[in-house]
Amino acid sequence: MDVTVLSAEDVAKLLPMRDCIGVMRDALAALARGKALVPLRMVMRMPDGSGFLGLMPGHMAPDGDRDGALGMKAVSVFPGNAGRGIDTHQGAVLLFEPDTGRLSALMDGATITAIRTAAVSGVATDRLARMDAAELAILGAGVQARTHLEAITTVRPIRRVRVWSRNPGHAADLVKEATARYTISIEAMPNAEAAVRGADVVATVTASPEPILDRAWLKDGVHINAVGSSIPTTREIDTATMAAVRLFVDRRESAVNEAGDILIAIREGAFTADHIQAELGDVIVGKDPGRRSDSELTLFKSLGLAVEDVASAAFILKRAQQTGIGQTVKM
């Protein structure tokens, strides 16, 4: 049995952001149409609280010109890695033949996660943000801050970006890197409020366990991509903001079991689970209108789904076979 093995560098070459945004749009649409199977992830937490290991299986049925796909991501999240100069998210994606179950590919999971997570926020921004959105605030300055900058500037005519991080040096590094790559205005701000005020789109991509966003800072019509928190006990968004927005999620079942941004506000009595308007896939396929006015506040709560990893992996493998990138290992 031949297995294709793809490194982080291979994945980055084979999964450009613009292409990944299209792949994610199609994957979420497949989920909305009942063409994808995504069980809740299984999470094993480290006894010392240092991190967790998650197992995320997923399946996409064949549909039109698209082949079926079967796979799983094993991902570890260790926040302390940031202090060691290591990515907080590690892992691998395994792709299997959907008709036989045989392993067909093994590829770096951290790079897929970095790209596809931002690409989903790109889809959400494209569907939910105002068409004239021009100012972007990014709270956080890690890997996801970089990929979110790329994704959001791909779908909206962003002219100004303001970045804040709890570590000013990280924000300065991001601005230096981004200024060399982009022709738009990009600057680091001394606090989160200064970054957010006046923004049309906000991306929260931190590891903060407590809210870093305040409702009073948000202007009418803003769209928020809430990405950093992925467990029930942490949140980036304050309760007042969560109550004020029209709320969208990647998947309801995941959101009401895993999203601290939502669950903590529910426990505080701000709203019930019915506050979730729709899944993003429902907006894509036309079941929900998404944004209804220029003044409405919208928020997309991203948790990440296995179908996103499996769809990305299937796209990557096909590109790898076309280009000859990667290694073949006999198992």
What is the distance between the terminal CA atoms of the chain, rounded to a whole angstrom? 5
CATH of residue 8 = 3.30.1780.10
Confidence of residue 287 (pLDDT cuts 50, 70, 90): very high
Report if pTM > 0.75: yes
State how far the Cα of 292 lies from the Cα of 303, in Å rounded to an integer.
24
CB atoms inside a 10 Å sphere around CB 318: 13
Residue 23 within a domain: yes
Output the average pLDDT for the chain: 96
Give 129-187 pLDDT, tens digit per residue: 999 999 999 999 999 999 999 999 999 999 999 999 999 999 999 999 999 999 999 99
Are residues 206 and 280 both part of a single domain? yes
pLDDT for residue 66: 83
Residue 118 within a domain: no
Residue 45 within a domain: yes
Percent of the chain at pLDDT > 70 equals 100
pLDDT for residue 153: 98
Are residues 170 and 310 both part of a single domain? no
Residue 67 within a domain: yes
* pLDDT at 260 > cutoff 90: yes
Q: Strands (DSSP E) along 140-258, which ranges?
A: 160-164, 185-188, 201-204, 223-226, 246-249
pLDDT for residue 77: 86
Give 45-97 pLDDT, tens digit per residue: 999 989 999 999 999 999 888 889 999 999 898 888 888 888 887 899 999 99
What is the rounded average pLDDT of the residues 245-250? Answer: 98
- Give me the amino acid identity at 87: D
- Non-local (6+) Cβ contacts of 274 within 8 A are none
State how far the Cα of 84 lies from the Cα of 297, in Å rounded to an integer.
37
CATH of residue 151 = 3.40.50.720
Q: Strands (DSSP E) along the chain, which ranges?
A: 2-6, 36-37, 42-45, 52-60, 69-77, 89-96, 103-108, 135-139, 160-164, 185-188, 201-204, 223-226, 246-249, 276-279, 298-301, 327-330
pLDDT for residue 87: 80
- What SS3 class is residue 279? strand
The vertex-98 CA angle with 93 and 100, nearest 5°, equals 110
Residue 205 within a domain: yes
* DSSP at 216: G
State how far the Cα of 321 lies from the Cα of 90, in Å rounded to an integer.
25
What is the rounded average pLDDT of the residues 197-211? Answer: 96
The domain tally of the chain equals 2
Are residues 169 and 287 both part of a single domain? yes
The domain in which residue 50 lies consists of 2-113+306-330
pLDDT for residue 64: 80
pLDDT for residue 229: 93
Structure tokens at 141: 């300055």
CB atoms inside a 10 Å sphere around CB 134: 14
Are residues 197 and 98 both part of a single domain? no
State how far the Cα of 122 lies from the Cα of 128, in Å rounded to an integer.
10
Residue 69 within a domain: yes
